[in-house]
Structure 1
Amino acid sequence: MTAYQDISSTCHISKLPYELRQRIFRYTLRQKGTVEMQTPTWTDRESFTQPLFYVCRWLREEALEAFYKVNTFVWAIARCGNTGVYLSSDPSKYPLGEGNCSALTPALPWHYPRLLEDLRYLVLNLHVPSNEDIHAWTTVLPQQLQSVTTALKSRRKLRQLQITFLMSHRSHDQSLSSEQIDVLNTLSELCVSATVNVRIRPAHTPATSAIHALDLPTKIRAKALYN
């Protein structure tokens, strides 16, 4: 008898309908705040050590599906530190597809194959580089934005997308050139059937009007409807 057959014959929850199991899992696995989907991460590691993840492979797979559907995840783009840009891992490189979890290990659930498929609520935190960081504007940021637009192409299950432009202490008092605006406008290539919101922090900067003028929510919505 396999491990799956064993728990299916003895566990009462396995006898419940799939939809009811998912409701139970979502209630149990809902986190209070957002969950970072990259390394390095600064959020509480306890988010990724839920007991349901380590009962058996069958339960882990369904629990992770609910975990992604109910929580809000954060994808950081071009994060900037005091010494310049440092890169987080790229979620678009995580395995995709319909694979099952191969083992009951304490691996972070980012590596679950259906991560991007099951996401419902996503925040893109775009750390805007300073004007002096030419390398970030010409290489790092364009590459990361392209990864985002490719990975999220036609994600019909995504319900809410928030794009947050985070102005660093060196960039919040600077305006943006037309070339820099063109780089940020790459996000208009997103094709998702989600409610899109744009935030800028700090809210009042010389770049605020230029970013709002991009009208990303309208462009993204129009692209999704057209496709």
Structure 2
Amino acid sequence: MRNKQGGKPASCGGPPRHAGPAKQVRIIGGQWKRTPLPVLEVEGLRPTPDRVRETLFNWLNHLLDNAWENIACLDLFAGTGALGFEAASRGAAEVVMVEGNAAAVRQLEAAKLKLQASQVNILRGDAGTAVQRLSTRFRVIFLDPPYHQDWLPRMLPLCDRLLADDGLLYVESEFSLTGDAPMPDWLATWKVVRADKAGMVFYHVLQRNTSPQIKA
């Protein structure tokens, strides 16, 4: 779930809008299956679509042999925490969430308390700065940054330092990382092992080119 910034700012004129029904996403699988996570009414804040998360975790279950119990995950730009809490629900041993929005951090803390998710650690701050301070090697990193702000060229080298040798990097973006066009330099050391599109969302699982081969 990400703050997809880069669109037009909300209009300040006109009559006030009435609040609609509360928005939420639900955890798809694991011990907290069907548990709702609120989506804050913050400009530009929206969840990764349910069917994208379902497909992603089907991929990860296959690639990880459904063995989450020893997995450490890093959820950058955590937003609602849908990706990180989903991993924790399925048994991940450790989940670190990084989020810069203060209201979103409070909501993450409330969800952690409600779920009694002791394996979840929530860090408030800029993702680039937080990554440089971390020393844990993560088997799975979720990278779902704001759109149209060139986060991927900055973050992929930083994620490389923290990713385990056989680790998997999930990347969600407004453009495809596959295709016939020449790949940018910042993607040269990575290979895309899974990819799909839902609406305007392109989502991928990446692995280092030099990593031991994971089953197809």
User: Shorter-normalised TM-score: what interval?
Assistant: 0.3 to 0.5
The TM-score normalised by the length of structure 1 is 0.33
- Higher gyration radius (CA): 1
Structure (1/2) with the larger helix percentage = 1
